[in-house]
Amino acid sequence: MIVRRSILAGAAALAAAIPSRAQQPRLPRIGFLILDNPSGIRDRLLEALRERGLVDGRTVVVEYRSAEGVVARLDELAAELVRLPVDLIIANQTPAATAAKRATSRIPIVMSAGDPVGTGLVASLARPGGNVTGFASIAAEVVGKGIELLREISPGLNRVGALINGNDPFGVPLLEQARRAATEAKLAFHPVIISNPAEIETGIAALAGAKVDAVMVQPSLPHARVLELARHHRLPTFATTRAFAEAGGLFTYASSIAETWSQVSLYAERILKGARPEDLPVMQPTRFELVINLATARALDITIPQAIIDRADEVIE
């Protein structure tokens, strides 16, 4: 009987220990929703989160979802994150942020997007309202600087094209800014709006047929496919996101990627600690980066003036 009681006592102790493990605190879940897979974007976010003490698998769980460049997939991916559920959604670029906002009015959303007021993501930068806040990259406003750089690289520039994503709400303010910048620079402007990835080939061919000297590419378009076709037609391209130059674009002028993710991770930390999105004003960039891809320039027989190379924050050889 003594032995049996010892066995029963040991079994009871083991049974008591198992539930205590299962009852450990649940880690907060962060959903990371993106349209495409720019080089290193996931690693950059995870590094920025780690610097805030938000370590994937230890203090938080990061649920990564990419639409692989297909805008139509974003709504279902956003709904999937809501169903898990996650405690916070980080959305990169306007289409992802818009899909997240459609999916939930309850879960906080920290976005990085071009014109959150103009695209209806927030009521204002100072008082965003609702469940969305984050970082406004003001990409549309820096298009003018990109066109200035084009003029410096190629003083004989006469005609600039634009490849616009018709499924991205940010395409409207971006197109307006590009048209204005081209007019101010006294350049002919030829925009092409595409509604699905299958139209990229005909869009690039139309720009080549219009004999544009260079093309501004909306960042939410699939970088690899656009650059493959642009190389085929020997068209120089630029955009307002660093990843585009890293993928093979001639150059990019954009808000600092390090600052972007640092600020996004800061708001993620504050919200997980109890802050409300509507009380956090949308942040704006203070630093901008010029990234030049010299390998692409050589392939296109373009000589980048040394003065511009000296001003660049990074030169890709």
**11 in a domain, yes or no?**
no
Question: 274 and 299: one domain?
Answer: no
Q: What is the DSSP letter of 162?
A: E
In a domain, 23, yes or no: no
Question: Does 203 score more than 80 pLDDT?
Answer: yes
Domain assignment of residue 129, yes or no: yes
Residues 233 and 276 in one domain: no
Do 85 and 232 have their domain in common? no
Q: Residue 6's pLDDT band (boundaries 50, 70, 90)?
A: very low
Mean pLDDT, range 57-67, rounded to an integer? 96
Tell me: the pLDDT tens digits for 247-263?
A: 999 999 999 989 999 99
**What is the C-alpha to C-alpha distance for residues 181 and 141, in angstroms, rounded to an integer?**
9
Do 93 and 224 fall within a single domain? no
196 and 168 share one domain: yes
87 and 220 belong to one structural domain: no
Say if 3 falls within a structural domain: no
Question: Do residues 297 and 195 share a domain?
Answer: yes
Comparing 23-27, 227-231, 264-268, the range with the smallest average pLDDT is 23-27
Q: For residue 40, is it left (φ>0), alpha (ψ between -120 and 50) or beta?
A: left
Q: What is the CATH number of the domain that holds 244?
A: 3.40.50.2300
Tally of structural domains, the chain: 2
Q: How far is CA 239 from CA 27, 67, 142, 254, in A?
A: 38, 21, 10, 8
Arithmetic mean of pLDDT over the chain: 91
Q: In the prediction, which pLDDT does 211 show?
A: 96
Q: Are residues 222 and 275 in the same domain?
A: no
pLDDT, one tens digit per residue, over 288-315 is: 999 999 999 999 999 999 999 999 999 9
pLDDT at position 14 over 90: no
Determine, yes or no, domain membership for 15. Answer: no
294, 170: one domain:
yes
Name the nearest CA neighbour of 215 among 240, 242, 236, 245: 236
pLDDT for res 7? 43
Clarify whether residues 269 and 296 are in a common domain: no
Above 70 in pLDDT, residue 2? no
Give the residue-averaged pLDDT of 54-76.
94
Counting beta carbons within 10 angstroms of the beta carbon of residue 176, is it exposed (0 to 12), middle (13 to 18) or buried (19 or more)? Answer: middle
Mean pLDDT confidence for 184-195: 95
pLDDT given at position 99? 98
User: 196: which 2 tokens?
Assistant: 């699905």
**Residue range(s) defining the domain that contains residue 68:** 29-138+256-287
Residue 18 confidence (pLDDT) above 60: no
**Looking at the predicted structure, is the pLDDT value of residue 12 above 60?**
no
Q: Does 20 map to a domain?
A: no
Q: What angle do CA 181, 152, 184 make, to 5 degrees?
A: 20
Q: Minimal CA–CA distance to 68: which of 60, 58, 76?
A: 76
Query: What pLDDT shows up at residue 41?
Result: 86
Which pairing describes strands 288-293 and 251-255: parallel, antiparallel, or unpaired? antiparallel
Decide if 67 contacts 35 (C-beta within 8 A).
Answer: yes
196 in a structural domain: yes
State how far Cα 11 lies from the chain centre: 53
Q: What is the per-residue pLDDT for 141?
A: 78
**Average pLDDT of span 206-226:** 95
Average pLDDT rounded to a whole number, residues 39-65: 93
Residue 2 lies in a domain: no
* 241, 285 Cβ separation under 8 angstroms: no
Residue-level pLDDT at 36: 84
pLDDT of residue 15 exceeding 50: no
The pLDDT tens digits of the residues spanning 129-150 come to 999 999 998 777 789 999 999 9
84-110 pLDDT, tens per residue? 999 999 999 999 999 999 999 999 999
- 110, 161: one domain: no
**Predicted local confidence at residue 39, as pLDDT:** 62
Q: Give the pLDDT score at 89.
A: 98
Residue 284 predicted with pLDDT over 70: yes
Q: Are residues 295 and 210 in the same domain?
A: yes
Query: pLDDT confidence of 23, banded at 50, 70, 90?
Result: low
